[in-house]
Amino acid sequence: GQNIDQPTEMTATEGAIVQINCTYQTSGFNGLFWYQQHAGEAPTFLSYNVLDGLEEKGRFSSFLSRSKGYSYLLLKELQMKDSASYLCAVRDDNYQLIWGAGTKLIIKP
Amino acid sequence: ETGVTQTPRHLVMGMTNKKSLKCEQHLGHNAMYWYKQSAKKPLELMFVYNFKEQTENNSVPSRFSPECPNSSHLFLHLHTLQPEDSALYLCASSQDAGGGPDTQYFGPGTRLTVL
């Protein structure tokens, strides 16, 4: 079967750095997405990786290793507004997105 | 209006009611999606429409009936639902359901409670 694993919950301190991991086992691979979802709101697109390596976008970076079936989202200089759930999704061979259950990130002052 | 909008934002219905959820996208996209989001579970893809044609129906019970009259509007008709259908229903759109990034953009969702 297809599976996306990510931690259920993480806690970090304002101003610090946090890394959210995602491992996947899917039938094929056509890109990996990270989305942010604040409570009661729509998921919003953060990043897309299709080749191995690191993609940096401001305070957020996303890394992909296709051979290991692994990605992480790195958040630097954490702010209180970064408290949200972070969703990892992989596009499979049928071009459908397979979603993880999300990681709830709690930022403490 | 910009992006993807959904109405209503909240809905409470009995098991014998009939209701409809509405989604509208203002992004000029050609593909639209319905997802179900339950607490602590992955997003479940329900239906996909690409250029107004339904291309995916992921074993969704017949009590959920989608309608896509044009590439900007998507409906989800509900009838004789069960309490376990209570969830957040999210609509999304993308340029088209093909290759490349084809990033999906989401609406705010309808929080559905079935009594």
| Token representation of residue B59 | 């074993």
Question: Tens place of pLDDT for every residue, chain B, 115 residues?
Answer: 579 999 999 999 988 889 999 999 999 999 999 999 998 899 999 999 988 788 777 789 999 999 999 989 999 999 999 999 999 999 999 998 666 778 999 999 999 999 9
Q: How far apart are CA B106 and CA B103, in angstroms?
A: 10
Instruction: Report the candidate in B40, B63, B56 with the shortest Cα–Cα distance to residue B94.
Output: B56
Q: How far apart are CA A105 and CA A46, in angstroms?
A: 15
Q: In B, residues 24-43, which contact A (CB 8 Å cutoff)?
A: 40-43
Min Cα–Cα distance to chain A from B59, Å = 14
Q: Dihedral through CA B66, CA A90, CA B1, CA B19, nearest 10?
A: 20
Q: Say yes or no: B4 contacts chain A, CB-CB below 8 A.
A: yes
- Chain-chain contact of A42 with B43 (C-beta, under 8 angstroms): no
| Token representation of residue A83 | 């408290």
Q: In B, residues 69-98, which contact A (CB 8 Å cutoff)?
A: 90, 97-98
Q: What are phi and psi of A81, to 5 degrees?
A: -70, -10
Chain B CB contacts of A8 under 8 Å are 40
